[in-house]
Amino acid sequence: MSGAISQLTDSNFEGEVINSEKPVLVDFWAVWCGPCKKIALELERLADEKTAELKIGKLNVDDNRDTAIKYGISSIPTLLLFKNGEVVKKIIAMSKDKILTEISQFL
């Protein structure tokens, strides 16, 4: 995993995401999820390109159920973009370019 991508947990979510000064794109994923592995590569590319303006984090839904439930994650991979502590965009897995198009207005 790229060093530009943070590992998120129920316990660090507020500090890393809600209180972040930058927009944060959170990838809700699980180890057993095939499409999650594909989107992980796209997120690594995005993290490397946009590290100055965007923070990216991954939250394993199996290990961090409280946060997944709080944000209504019912299928994975699901990406939520947070800005100023609020969800501003929900994205279902897609390519890096499509993700960037979806979130560019919030950066």
pLDDT at 102: 83
33 is an active site residue: yes
Contact 90, 80 (CB under 8 A): yes
38 within some domain: yes
104 within some domain: no
53 within some domain: yes
For residue 88, what is the domain's CATH number? 3.40.30.10
Which residue range(s) make up the domain with 53?
A: 5-94
Crossing angle for the helix pair 96-103 and 34-50, nearest 10 degrees?
Answer: 60
The residue annotated as part of the active site, out of 33, 47, 73, 81, is 33
72 is an active site residue: no
pLDDT at 103: 85
The residue annotated as part of the active site, out of 17, 26, 36, 80, is 36
CA dist 102 → 12, 21, 89, 91 (Å) = 26, 20, 8, 8
User: Total structural domains in the chain?
Assistant: 1
pLDDT at 93: 61
pLDDT (tens, 9 = 90+) of the chain, 107 residues, equals: 456 899 999 999 999 999 999 999 999 999 999 999 989 988 998 999 888 899 999 999 999 999 999 999 999 999 999 999 999 999 876 677 888 888 888 88
Question: If you search the block for the tokens 């993700």, which residue do you land on?
Answer: 99
